[in-house]
Chains A and B, each alone.
Chain A
Amino acid sequence: EIVLTQSPGTLSLSPGERATLSCRASQSVTSRYLAWFQQKPGQAPRLLIYGTSNRATGIADRFSGSGSGTDFTLTISRLEPEDFAMYYCQQYGSSPRTFGQGTKVEIK
């Protein structure tokens, strides 16, 4: 199975700053089948990005995804107060689908 490693574990930033989250795969992710999810405490995950760089319905354009092969990035261009949360990457090109361990974006 493909192991996804996210870094950093915690990102401490201020509102208005740029956030860059990394997701590295143990082997190449088929055809860029990688998604990003946001999860706030006590809530279900919410789809942000699919296919590496496609924003899901209703997702603000300050969220963007990029990458290929084994290295992928989620960028939040200017952090809003509601963006402080946990973020998970997931590959769905190979079975089983696997998630990274998550990156927490916290207020500095």
Chain B
Amino acid sequence: EVQLLESGGGLVQPGGSLTLTCAASGFTFNHYAVSWVRQAPGKGLEWVSAISGSGGSTYYADSVKGRFTISRDNSKNTVYLQMNSLRADDTAVFYCAKDSSVGFRLNYCDYWGQGTLVTVSS
């Protein structure tokens, strides 16, 4: 059974940093890209970032480019999202999702974690 478990969310002040972790199980981890998708309170879904199965390619939404860094440790079946210079409009539930193939392009998210809430407020 595919499982994705996010952790690391919490309350952080504007301008602060936070690192989210996604621990995966139930599939051959390095065979699949992984994405982060966020959802602001009461709002829709926004794709944030993705990383290929090998970790060699990374992708970012313009809204987070230069502030967020995605990485993965295939020996630990884990993906990370390092978030710097956080703003109030980054407040959201962040979901980790398995992509349908090893690359990012032309693939969709087929399994999702339950999400972790990030609140940016003073």
Contact = CB atoms under 8 A, between A and B. Distances in A.
A101 B112 CA distance: 19
Interface centre among A37, A57, A96 (most CB of B within 10 A): A96
Contact of B44 (A46, A57, A100): A100
Interface string B19-54: 000000000000000010100000011110000000
A30 B112 CA distance: 24
Given A90-B45, A99-B47, A101-B44, A44 B115 contact: yes
Contacts of B113: 44
B88 interface: no
A22 to B, nearest CB: 16
A92 to B, nearest CB: 5
B110 A47 contact: yes
Interface string B89-122: 0000001000010000111111111110000000
Contacts of A43: 114
Interface in A12-65: 30-31, 33, 35, 37, 39, 43-47, 50, 56-57
A97 interface: yes
**Which 10 residue pairs of A and B lie closest in terms of their CB atoms, listed nearest first?**
A44-B112, A97-B47, A99-B45, A35-B108, A92-B108, A101-B44, A50-B108, A47-B110, A102-B44, A44-B114
